[in-house]
Amino acid sequence: MKPGFEKYIPFQQIKLENREWPNNVITKAPIWCSVDLRDGNQALVDPMNMEEKIEFFHTLVDMGFKEIEIGFPSASETEYEICRELIEGNHIPDDVTIQVLVQAREHLIRKTFEAVKGAKNVIIHFYNSTSTLQRKVVFKTDMEGVTKIAIEGAKLIKQLTDEYTGDTNFRFEYSPESFSGTEVENAVYICDKVMEALGSTKENPVILNLPNTVEMCTPNTYADQVEYFIKHIKNREACIISLHPHNDRGTGVASGELALLAGAERVEGTLFGNGERTGNLDIVTMGLNMFTQGVDPKLDFSNLPKLREIYERCTDMKINPRQPYIGELVFTAFSGSHQDAINKGMQYMKDSGTEYWEIPYLPIDPADVGREYEPIIRINSQSGKGGAAFVMSHNFGYDLPKKMHPEFSKLVQKKCEELGRELIPKELFEVFSENYLEVHQKYALTKRKIYEESENGKDYVHFKGKMTINGADEVTLSGVGNGPIDAFFNAIKKFGLDKYEFISYSQHAISQGSDSKAVSYIELKKPDGKNIFGIGIDSNVNVASVLGVLNAINRAEM
Ligand SMILES: CC(=O)SCCNC(=O)CCNC(=O)[C@H](O)C(C)(C)COP(=O)(O)OP(=O)(O)OC[C@H]1O[C@@H](n2cnc3c(N)ncnc32)[C@H](O)[C@@H]1OP(=O)(O)O
Ligand SMILES: CC(C)C(=O)C(=O)O
């Protein structure tokens, strides 16, 4: 054997003239078929037991699946019993079709028909592998050999259906398993033969399922194969083209999407991509990809956390934190520029009243999948000023003025570096509280009164009060100005505090318990030329401003 990469045989592109799929767009949902209970289940360390399968089945029904592959009933007693319980326990709604998988082998097909007795709607899904490799190493036969297996299987299925006395509505699905590893003209050939044997018609079409059983090529090649197949199958009207992508190269969803462009009508896959090896096509991702393009996926993804809980419990599989749409971290931004843009996007949505979702870095509204905005922005030492401001506003109702963001962000970053980790919102608030709300009060107001008076047709604001300095005896304050801040500055001038220059202020209401209070953000220039912010909170807006000035001075003198 050759060493390293040289031992692999490169996948051969097929020759497809004038391919059309690159110009197409996905505009509607395909027919979905969940194979969680079969392909997903057969790949588990411990396959689901009866209770788990039944719960999972109901979950799929509730999401809106109308076709569900429930298992391989001829494979084992457990699989058979689960199939019987679904039917006899009346778990299957009338508008849902159960699908059962079987190899194209006589005894297994007969057992399968027994297993589905009494069901209202059934798809008998039979398969045999047709790929070049499997013909060579598994079946040790040629194309005629595998075609014979398929035709015999199809004929038996037709015969058993014709002989069936119940009122089950049977449909058929055939998979040339390992389709993508089969010469495409051979895949067309065997499917033409299967259709003839089944007697497929426009009124009673067969599902031709084209599995990318092992993903071995780029998604464009799978799309080419599907387009070729569709253009060459003899009786196109009498078949529904179905996809069954796997994810060996990590592009299962992409393969499915491009093959839909190539004309397929139906998609088989699993929730969160469970399945053999690296999994099957992830229906949640594919469906939500459509959703975010304004296409109704016709499946309910509105409570992904609940789906995740059921999925993890029944399969004992874990979801990766980066898994699209459901991973723990997918609605979280740590980096500053992302946080800033998300913050601005949210503000834009609020201010503009846009009808569309227009938030950078968030391709979907977390609320649409039952997730919350809360954990969107998380704060670590890589976070920028926008992120901390977002959490202060979103979680605690403090809309820090933009000019204050750099000052607060520095305090947050220092704390993250001290702790060597991210800060949860509560800790972020503690940074705010320690640095603004609980600072040492060198100057503390003990009494204050602010009132307006008119003199000679002009309005003046008076500030009168008492203050302690470093806890010593109270001093009296009195000042007049054109507003409360001006009056207060005039009152504290005599202590040399006019060395601080007033720069800006902003204010908003904040609810604390049942009270509504005003919070003021005051920016002063210190004698060293640097600016500093202070915060004042009071039920009186004027008092809040004065407290903000004093808070800034106290912070400057710490
Ligand atoms: C790609 C997929 O996921 S396909 C689905 C795969 N899922 C499963 O296999 C799970 C359930 N399967 C099983 O439990 C078992 O395989 C059973 C019960 C169905 C059959 O068991 P067994 O007959 O004991 O073994 P096995 O599946 O290995 O069959 C091997 C024989 O069947 C033949 N065979 C395999 N697949 C097929 C097929 N689709 N159609 C016809 N013959 C087939 C093989 O060539 C081999 O023949 P040989 O004995 O002459 O060499
Ligand atoms: C039986 C077929 C559809 C299959 O599971 C596969 O090819 O992956």
Q: In what order do the strands lie in the sheet with 443-455?
A: 443-455, 458-469, 475-481
Binding-site residues from annotation for Mg(2+): 39, 244, 246, 280
Structure confidence at residue 304 as a pLDDT band (50, 70, 90): very high
User: Which ligand is closest in space to the CA of residue 175?
Assistant: 2
- pLDDT at residue 132 above 70? yes
Task: Identify the residue with better confidence: 271 or 386.
Answer: 271
Residues of the chain with CATH 3.30.160.270: 443-556
Closest ligand 2 atom to residue 127 Cα is 1
**What local confidence, expressed as pLDDT, does residue 373 receive?**
56
Q: Name the residue at shortest CA distance from atom 2 of ligand 2.
A: 177
CA of 77 to the centre of ligand 1 (A): 16
Closest ligand 2 atom to residue 39 Cα is 5
pLDDT per position as a tens digit, 383-405 = 778 888 988 998 899 999 999 99
Is residue 127 within 6 Å of ligand 2 at its C-beta? yes
Neighbours of 27 (CB within 10 A): 9
pLDDT per position as a tens digit, 140-167 = 999 999 999 999 999 999 999 999 989 9
- Where do we find the tokens 């107001």? 445
| DSSP letter for each residue of 10-27 | PPPPP--TT--GGG----
Determine the average pLDDT of the residues in 235-258.
98
Binding-site residues from annotation: 39, 244, 246, 280
Closest ligand 2 atom to residue 276 Cα is 8
Query: ipTM score of the complex?
Result: 0.95
Counting Cβ atoms within 10 Å, is residue 45 exposed (0-12), middle (13-18) or buried (19+)? exposed
Give Cβ neighbours of residue 112 (< 8 Å, ≥ 6 apart): 73, 74, 100, 102, 124
pLDDT per position as a tens digit, 28-82 = 999 999 999 999 999 999 999 999 999 999 999 999 999 999 999 999 999 999 9
Cα–Cα separations (whole angstroms), residue 18 to 15, 231, 364, 367, 530: 10, 12, 35, 42, 68
Give the mutation target among 103, 244, 278 for probing the ligand 2 site: most ligand atoms within 8 A of CB: 244
Is residue 127 within 6 Å of ligand 1 at its C-beta? yes
Q: In what order do the strands lie in the sheet with 501-512?
A: 501-512, 515-525, 531-538
Pick the CATH number of 28-315 from 3.40.950.10, 3.20.20.70, 1.10.443.10, 3.30.70.3270: 3.20.20.70
For the chain, percent helix, then strand, then coil, each to nearest 5? 45, 20, 35
pTM recorded for the entire structure: 0.82
Determine the average pLDDT of the residues in 496-519.
90
CA of 241 to the centre of ligand 2 (A): 14
CATH 1.10.3720.10 at 443-556, yes or no: no
pLDDT per position as a tens digit, 166-185 = 999 999 999 999 999 999 99
Give the mutation target among 80, 102, 103, 128 for probing the ligand 1 site: most ligand atoms within 8 A of CB: 103
Is residue 72 within 6 Å of ligand 1 at its C-beta? yes
- Where do we find the tokens 């969680």? 36
pLDDT per position as a tens digit, 342-353 = 889 988 999 999
CA of 176 to the centre of ligand 2 (A): 8
**What local confidence, expressed as pLDDT, does residue 377 receive?**
67
Is residue 53 within 6 Å of ligand 2 at its C-beta? no
Is residue 211 within 6 Å of ligand 2 at its C-beta? yes
CA of 298 to the centre of ligand 2 (A): 24
Is residue 149 within 6 Å of ligand 1 at its C-beta? yes
**What local confidence, expressed as pLDDT, does residue 374 receive?**
52
User: Which ligand is closest in space to the CA of residue 125?
Assistant: 2
Is residue 448 within 6 Å of ligand 2 at its C-beta? no
Closest ligand 1 atom to residue 104 Cα is 40
Classified as helix, coil or strand, 175 is strand
Is residue 99 within 6 Å of ligand 2 at its C-beta? no
Give the mutation target among 177, 247, 255, 276 for probing the ligand 2 site: most ligand atoms within 8 A of CB: 177
| Buried-exposed string 513-536: b where 16+ CB fall within 10 A, e elsewhere | eeeebbbbbbbbbbeeeebbbbbb
Are 413 and 381 in contact, with CB atoms under 8 Å apart?
yes
Structure confidence at residue 382 as a pLDDT band (50, 70, 90): confident
- pLDDT at residue 229 above 80? yes
Is residue 75 within 6 Å of ligand 1 at its C-beta? yes
Is residue 215 within 6 Å of ligand 2 at its C-beta? no
User: Of 412, 425, 340, whose CA–CA distance to 381 is shortest?
Assistant: 412
Determine the average pLDDT of the residues in 349-370.
95
CA of 84 to the centre of ligand 2 (A): 23
Residues of the chain with CATH 3.20.20.70: 28-315
Structure confidence at residue 325 as a pLDDT band (50, 70, 90): very high
Q: Name the residue at shortest CA distance from atom 1 of ligand 1.
A: 213
Are 31 and 265 in contact, with CB atoms under 8 Å apart?
yes
Are 191 and 236 in contact, with CB atoms under 8 Å apart?
no
Cα–Cα separations (whole angstroms), residue 292 to 255, 377, 500: 18, 21, 53
Give Cβ neighbours of residue 351 (< 8 Å, ≥ 6 apart): none
State percent of the chain over pLDDT 70.
Answer: 98
Is residue 545 within 6 Å of ligand 2 at its C-beta? no
